[in-house]
Amino acid sequence: MVLFSALASAAVWRQITPGVPPPRPDVRRIPPHILMTVNGVLALVALSALLSIWFGRTGGH
């Protein structure tokens, strides 16, 4: 999940700063603020999952 979050961040970065203009798409692009918001939520969920794995209780005594 953490690696997926990192890959999603890279995809959002590429979407925001594409470099050379790509060919004209047939569909509308998702607005950058929506991409950044969804990616931020994904990163927080992944971070909380990672922290809960590292510091969470194992159920044993």
pLDDT tens for each residue of 38-57:
888 988 988 888 888 888 87
> 3-42 pLDDT, tens per residue?
777 777 777 777 777 677 768 889 888 898 998 898 889 8
Determine contact, residues 15/38, Cβ cutoff 8 Å.
Answer: no
User: Is there a contact between 43 and 5 (Cβ–Cβ < 8 Å)?
Assistant: yes
d(CA 41, CA 28): 23
